[in-house]
Structure 1
Amino acid sequence: MKLQFKIKRFNELFLLELYQILQLRSEVFVVEQNCVYQDIDGKDEKALHLIGTFQNEIVAYVRIFKPGDYFEEASIGRVVVKQKYRDRKWGYDLMQKAIAVTKSELNETNITISAQLYLQKFYENFGFVKTSEVYLEDDIEHVQMKRE
């Protein structure tokens, strides 16, 4: 079975969708990665929200930003797939869709991301190239990567 995708602006999100998105992000980025950080950062209002659902449950998600809202270029962030579904390789579907949405909705092909270091090879599969030294973001090693 495949993921079903929806694209929404912040003000188009249903309350339950927003709750499930924040729950998924917290489940992975705070609890699973044992990282205390401010996930609700005031940027959700600016983002396009790409939501991946399976059997009416939000199981995959990314935020997409137009140039200037996060980085100088368009940006994709908060890339997340619920742990129990990662064996289905839906992260690949999610990133392919996020790149396509960045082009179709924002008319942008230059994309910058702040990638967790251990996922560098994953993002290289989509044409991203490392453009920085390793840096700490919320005590997790990251690298900046760009795709043109």
Structure 2
Amino acid sequence: MNRSLRQARFDDGGALDEAGRDRAPAAAGSLPPAARVVVSPGVRCRETAGALGLQGAEAAELAGLDVGRRGGRTLDEVAVAEPEAMGRWLTDPSCAPHGGESVRDACVRVGRRLDALRETDGRARLVPPMDAPGTGVGF
């Protein structure tokens, strides 16, 4: 958890908040072993991995959705400033009116990385972001 997620903001690359830093170590003991760990390059993902006691390779393909000029803004702020563009973005996964990437493109990017993990012997653990507020799309 970080400020962006807590406040329904488009991710601004911020660190874990206090609650996030407190919760992650508690989950560490409940994770089954993994043959491979892959971490998103995002700050909060690297911090989460560290708090879980996980060390792994960073994978640029697991980066959060590039939300362009919307980074750090709330859903409400964007809906008021750009109602038509926000409506298109929420209903068309191939749309990227914010100058970043579309949800569809992000899903393809992440999917390629997941497909590559099929080559892994044993369980793989991923520490990806969840940062597409209001969409139900998590990475």
TM-score by shorter chain over 0.5 = no
Going by fraction, where is helix more abundant, 1 or 2?
Answer: 2
Does 1 or 2 have the higher relative contact order (CA < 8 Å, sep 6+)?
Answer: 2
Greater Cα radius of gyration, structure 1 or 2: 2
- Report the TM-score when normalising by structure 2: 0.29
